[in-house]
Structure 1
Amino acid sequence: MHEEDPLTGRRFLGVTLLNIGITGFELLGGVVSGSLALLSDAFHNMGDAVSIVLSYVAHRISQRGEDQQNTFGYRRAQILAALLNSFLLILISAFLVVEAIRRFSHPEPIHGTLMFWVAVISLAANLLSTWLLSRGSKHNLNIRATYLHLLSDALGSVAVIVGAVLIATVQWYWVDPLLTMVVAIYIMWESWPIIRETIRILMQGAPELDYDAIRHDLLRIDGVTGVHHVHAWMIDENNIIFSAHVNLHDQPLSNVEPVYRKIENVLCQDYHISHVTIQAECRRGSDEQMIYGEHDFRQFSESENAKEK
């Protein structure tokens, strides 16, 4: 039997059960010990449980093939899940920063020893959950967002352990809200790139391609005399869609197909583009810019700048 995907089967079940268990354990420990840092960890784990379920559902939806309702398939379900998970992380972190600031003004006594042992057990469970989802986190925004949830909780547990030692030994109660703020700000910092990337994909933002190099390589193909009206966008972080109008010599359609194959090979092999659409033309558009409307936009910008001067 082949190995299961990181977000299916026993991995998914194990990570979900671990996070539900950690959440209940830390909530109880945080209330009894009076530690905001433990409660913040508990809230993060609660968010993790929701995040993992959401990621799993989105992953399963993304495996569906193309149909009449979604001719590009359902891959963006994972992008939506990554965006929602990251926003959830930032909202939880912002709430914890506000609560930590309040604790600075009104410090409360904390049971450092109990806080320490709860954090140690939680760290072990968080590390196990992180390891279970480590595979695939580098190449999938959805898994990466969920992985970040788990990694942030592991880091939070480490911070809680350090704080518990200081509280138990020298009664530095202010360490608890300070660590809460540091971990929360770190999580928001790490979440922002995921939000930025998912929004760029959903807004049909262009992938990072060398368009001048693409033009140069396509014009080297025998029979190609021009490239214009190019569009490129991403279905998800791993699949790039590319369309272009290509000027060719006037010739039978049967002679055009081999040129198409050469164009597709260049784009797929050299630029990792997964889907290519080419419209062949003889002279139409030969004087246009490679990116449609780019020349008009530049003229408009130059005109506006001239008016301002």
Structure 2
Amino acid sequence: MHQHQVSGKRFGGVTLLNAVITVVEILGGIFSGSLSLLSDAMHNLSDTISIAIGYGAQIISQRPENSKRTYGYQRAQILAALFNAALLVLIAVVLIIEAIQRFQHPEKIDGPLMLVVAVIGLIANFVSMFLLNAGKDTSLNIKATYLHLLSDTLSSVAVIIGALVLTFTDAEWVDPLLTIIVALYIAYEAWPIIKTTFNILMQTSPAVNYDEIERDLLAIDGICHVHHLHAWMIDEHHNSMSLHINCDDIRLSEAEQIYQQVDQLLKNKYQIDHVTIQAECYRGRHERLFNPDSDQF
């Protein structure tokens, strides 16, 4: 419980710090005329929203299962991740469109002001990373946020480089160029999250060797056939599976012993957390592990 409270305080501190620096960068971007500074501000804004939503989803996901949510609330974090990633992509598209327009109609940029604000943003990102550093190896959620902040830090470094160039030269094209680079990086960072959350929400099977699973199950004494197998991901950490096994005409107490072996095998070797098994004597003996394969997508 104490660790959860500490994590909450750290999340709260990082959220507040990111919100403040976002406002500073937006004002700095407007008054300096720097689009890359505004792009960094939008990145920080998305992170502020992401941290707040991510922490809220983490709290919701810890609620116990009930009659309305029999698998619990673990997918709250998946929905939050999908929302945050989609927001990142939307921001990246807007920034690229604005940068292209800025190439066509360059504007005078206040390099020194841009530099000061970018340095402040860099310091704030370092402080945020320090706040979450202690928990990044104990919580995947905190680690994901930590890596997000690391990308913010790299973005701030890019803006500082651009500010230094604009302070000593009139190369206004550097600002929209850096904006496009940062926007592409944001989209690149968001794509794996979208792909993973899409797969989970589509109930994609976890990446395990199903032929090997079938061989291991058939090696258990009492199982003569396996069919009608379904596997899906509840979230990125929890997998479920249901399957039918054919056995001889045995007593229920003997079937329970087989169930225990199947459960332990799938949990320990294949990280399947929840297993539902249906034992049958004759039905399904000629069916395959999966239904006849169709075109896979």
TM range (shorter): over 0.9
Deviations 1:74-107 (A, max 9, x none): 0000000000000000001110001111111111
Shift of 1:127: 2.6
AA in 2 matched with 1:180: T
SS in 1 for 2:261: helix
Which residue is 1:65 aligned to? 64
Which residue is 2:178 aligned to? 179
Is the CA contact 1:155–1:183 (under 8 Å) kept in the aligned structure 2? Answer: no
Shift of 1:137: 8.2
SS in 1 for 2:4: coil
Which residue is 1:304 aligned to? none
Please say if 1:261 is aligned against 2:260.
yes
Shift of 1:170: 2.0
Please say if 1:106 is aligned against 2:102.
no
The CA distance in 1 between the partners of 2:208 and 2:130, in whole Å, is 33
Is the CA contact 1:163–1:179 (under 8 Å) kept in the aligned structure 2? Answer: yes
Unaligned runs of 5+ in 1: 302-309
Shift of 1:39: 1.2
Shift of 1:136: 4.8
Alignment of 1:100-179 (within 5 A): 100-133=99-132, 135-136=135-136, 140=140, 146-147=145-146, 149-179=148-178
The CA distance in 2 between the partners of 1:145 and 1:294, in whole Å, is 39
Alignment of 1:201-216 (within 5 A): 201-216=200-215
Which residue is 2:191 aligned to? 192
Which residue is 2:292 aligned to? 294
Question: Could you say if the C-alpha distance between residues 222 and 16 of structure 1 is closer, same or farther in structure 2, counting changes exceeding 3 Å?
Answer: same
Deviations 1:108-135 (A, max 9, x none): 1111111112111101111332344454
The CA distance in 1 between the partners of 2:273 and 2:56, in whole Å, is 25
Q: CA RMSD in A?
A: 2.1
The CA distance in 2 between the partners of 1:83 and 1:147, in whole Å, is 18
AA in 1 matched with 2:3: E
Is the CA contact 1:82–1:146 (under 8 Å) kept in the aligned structure 2? Answer: no
Alignment of 1:17-28 (within 5 A): 17-28=16-27
AA in 2 matched with 1:294: P
The CA distance in 1 between the partners of 2:193 and 2:10, in whole Å, is 23
The CA distance in 2 between the partners of 1:249 and 1:132, in whole Å, is 59
Is the CA contact 1:83–1:198 (under 8 Å) kept in the aligned structure 2? Answer: yes
AA in 1 matched with 2:47: D
Which residue is 1:75 aligned to? 74
The CA distance in 2 between the partners of 1:100 and 1:285, in whole Å, is 61
Question: Could you say if the C-alpha distance between residues 249 and 79 of structure 1 is closer, same or farther in structure 2, counting changes exceeding 3 Å?
Answer: same
Shift of 1:33: 1.3
Which residue is 2:221 aligned to? 222
Is the CA contact 2:136–2:146 (under 8 Å) kept in the aligned structure 1? Answer: no
The CA distance in 2 between the partners of 1:132 and 1:226, in whole Å, is 53
Q: Structure 1 vs Structure 2: percent identity of aligned residues?
A: 54
Deviations 1:2-55 (A, max 9, x none): 42378x421111111101110111112112211111111112222222221111
Is the CA contact 1:109–1:173 (under 8 Å) kept in the aligned structure 2? Answer: yes
Is the CA contact 1:152–1:183 (under 8 Å) kept in the aligned structure 2? Answer: no
Which residue is 2:3 aligned to? 3
Question: TM-score normalised to the size of structure 1?
Answer: 0.90
The CA distance in 2 between the partners of 1:143 and 1:65, in whole Å, is 21
The CA distance in 2 between the partners of 1:12 and 1:147, in whole Å, is 10
Is the CA contact 1:37–1:179 (under 8 Å) kept in the aligned structure 2? Answer: yes
Unaligned runs of 5+ in 2: none
The CA distance in 2 between the partners of 1:182 and 1:251, in whole Å, is 66
The CA distance in 2 between the partners of 1:136 and 1:220, in whole Å, is 41
Which residue is 2:271 aligned to? 272
The CA distance in 2 between the partners of 1:156 and 1:72, in whole Å, is 39
The CA distance in 1 between the partners of 2:76 and 2:90, in whole Å, is 21
Which residue is 1:89 aligned to? 88
Which residue is 2:282 aligned to? 283
SS in 2 for 1:232: strand
Which residue is 2:251 aligned to? 252
When structure 1 is superposed on structure 2, of 125-134 and 236-245 the one drifting more is 125-134
AA in 2 matched with 1:3: Q
Is the CA contact 2:39–2:182 (under 8 Å) kept in the aligned structure 1? Answer: no
Question: TM-score normalised to the size of structure 2?
Answer: 0.93
Shift of 1:167: 0.8
Deviations 1:134-155 (A, max 9, x none): 5458974x65664554333222
Q: How many residues align?
A: 295
Is the CA contact 1:44–1:149 (under 8 Å) kept in the aligned structure 2? Answer: no
SS in 1 for 2:234: strand
The CA distance in 2 between the partners of 1:136 and 1:279, in whole Å, is 41
AA in 1 matched with 2:155: G
